[in-house]
Amino acid sequence: MTLNAVTSNIAPTAGSAGDNVHIFERALAREHRRLVALCASITGDFHAAEDLAQETLIEAWRSQHTLRDSALLGAWLSGIARNVCRRWLRSRQRENNRQADELSVATALYGERADQSFDLELEIERQELVTLLDRALALLPAESREVLIERYVRESRISEIAARLGIQTPAAAMRLQRGKLALRQILTTAMRQEIAPYLIHEPSDNWHETRIWCFVCGVRHLRGRLTADSMLIVTCPACFSDPESPLFMTCPEIWGGVKGYGRALARTMDWIDSYYQSAPDNRTVRCYVCGATLLLSQLSQLKTTWGGQRVLGFHQFCPSCHAESSQPLAGLLLASPAGRRFLRAHPRMRMPPEQETELDGSDAVITRFVSLPDRATMTVISARASGRTLRVVHGA
């Protein structure tokens, strides 16, 4: 849509098209500051008001045919701004409610650390996503690419972008909108297959390969699928031949509300760490279904295997609701702060078989994680009876 088309309804018909454009631009410039103030007064958020004012102008351009009298431009824009702000407030309220619901459920079930999320997706997949985004941006026209980078990489305000590019603020807002639409089109068409491994798909019987390396073998990427009842199952085709015994299976109360496999895994690790963080010392856990207090089982070999290897872990059974759960010790160690730091620094690793040893006269277990590219290691020594971490050693 050109400015000429817009001004045909709000500018005088006399004079050249260029005159009409200048009249319209001056009118928008006069209204812009007032719209920012209006949006700020409605939302109470001055930082959001800048973007909401720009959204108002964009919507006005799209609906310009509804303005019949140029003398009513101010009132017309104010009405659009109020609608834009109301939508934003409703959207923010829904998001706040969703986050509050998630936090209250997570806190009630898993402890007060449940909201301390470690964004594994951002840490592990950041560079790959940046590379894909760079490729997608390269397919855009130069002017669209420039304004997107200014807004979302350099985090410049629309008014600053307009001044830097030497254009009017509304024109910069429209250029940004066109750039976002063009980028979305590229990501959902030409690069759809490349983006797919980062996104959780609709419920299906089909497995979808992610970009997260299996931390048992370090050879294959993990695969995931969403079941009809919203259970997220993630497995490695090399390490877990039985789909009924995956690397992890997580319910929507834990992983729900995110779109990426990495973030779903991060939420699961948050739950694991919060659920078991004090268990080795207190020797109790709460049933994850009914909340009953259970005595922590002895560390023992689990029926499930990781990559064909028998692993030590905890198996819990609740006599009240008959819920069962098994958690390998290695999973607990990776979910710990030390394990997350190592995984962040070394996203491609493998786990050699666990070894039993003796430390200070007591039986202990050695669990090692080895980075494949640089051979960096994290070795954790745990008490054989309780699983309590006794020592963490980093080396090569």
Q: Is residue 253 part of a domain?
A: no
Does 236 have pLDDT greater than 80? yes
Measured CA distances, 231 to 106, 107, 250, 257 (Å): 16, 20, 6, 13
| 141 lies in the same domain as 105 | no
What pLDDT sits at residue 22?
Answer: 57
265 is a domain residue = no
Cα distances (angstroms) measured from residue 174 to each of 9, 73, 101, 383: 18, 19, 36, 62
Q: What is the DSSP string of 256-273?
A: TT--BHHHHHHHHHHHHH
- How confident is the model at residue 130, as a pLDDT? 65
- For residues 289 and 387, membership in a common domain is answered with yes
Give residue 126's pLDDT band: very low, low, confident or very high (50, 70, 90). low
Let me know if 56 is exposed, middle or buried by CB neighbors in 10 A (0-12, 13-18, 19+). Answer: buried
Q: What would the mean pLDDT of 126-155 be, rounded to a whole number?
A: 77
Whether 133 and 186 map to the same domain: the answer is yes
Average confidence score pLDDT of the chain: 79
* 3-state per-residue secondary structure call for 307-318: CCEEEEEEEEEC
If asked whether residues 158 and 70 sit together in one domain, one would say no
Task: Kindly state whether residues 87 and 121 are assigned to the same domain.
Answer: no
Total Cβ atoms within 10 A of residue 223? 23
- Dihedral sign, CA of 143, 149, 152, 158? negative
Residue 106 lies in a domain: yes
Q: Which tokens sit at 24?
A: 């319209």
**When comparing pLDDT for 127 and 248, which is higher?**
248
pLDDT at res. 10: 39
280: number of Cβ within 10 Å: 19
- pLDDT reported for residue 348: 93
Q: 216 in a domain, yes or no?
A: no
- What pLDDT, in 10s, does the model give residues 266-311? 888 988 888 888 888 888 888 877 888 889 888 898 888 888 888 9
Shared domain check, 33 and 65: yes
| Average pLDDT estimate for 182-198 | 80
Is residue 286 domain-shared with residue 395, that is, in the same domain?
A: yes
Single out the residue in 110, 143, 168 at which a domain terminates: 110
pLDDT at 378: 96
Report pLDDT for 170: 82
User: Which amino acid is it at 305?
Assistant: T
Mean pLDDT of 382-387: 91
Is residue 60 in a domain? yes
Count Cα atoms within 13 angstroms, Cβ side, for 196.
14
Q: Confirm whether 168 is domain-assigned.
A: yes
- pLDDT of 105 reads 38
Counting the structural domains of the chain, the total is 3
Whether 142 and 90 map to the same domain: the answer is no
194, 219, 253 — which closes off a domain? 194
pLDDT for 120? 39
In a domain, 241, yes or no: no
Spatial contact of 366 and 377, defined as CB atoms under 8 Å apart:
no
Residues 127 and 85 occupy one common structural domain: no
Same domain for 105 and 129, yes or no, is no
Residues 37-57: tens digit of each pLDDT = 888 888 887 778 888 888 888
pLDDT at 127: 57
Tokens for 381?
Answer: 């020594």
Q: Let me know whether 296 and 384 are in one domain.
A: yes
Of 27-36, 104-113, 140-149, which range is least confident?
104-113
In a domain? residue 207:
no
Please determine, for residue 6, whether its predicted confidence score (pLDDT) is greater than 90: no
Residue 148 lies in domain: 116-194
Query: How much of the chain exceeds pLDDT 70, in percent?
Result: 83
Check residue 173 and give its pLDDT.
84
Specify whether the CB–CB gap between 219 and 203 falls below 8 A.
Answer: no
Residues 106 and 135 in one domain: no
Over 50: is that where the pLDDT of 77 sits?
yes
Give the per-residue pLDDT at 132.
73
**Tokens matching residue 230:** 């919203």
Q: State the pairing for strand pair 293-295/300-306.
A: unpaired
Q: What's the 3-state SS for 77-127?
A: HHHHHHHHHHHHHHHHHHHHHHHHHHHHHHHHHHCHHHHCCCCHHHHHHHH
Instruction: Pick the last residue of a domain from 72, 95, 110.
Output: 110
Least confident of 6-20, 37-51, 80-94, 146-160: 6-20
Contacts of 383 (CB under 8 A, 6+ apart): 280, 299, 362, 363, 364, 365, 390
Q: For residue 179, what pLDDT band results from cuts at 50, 70 and 90?
A: confident
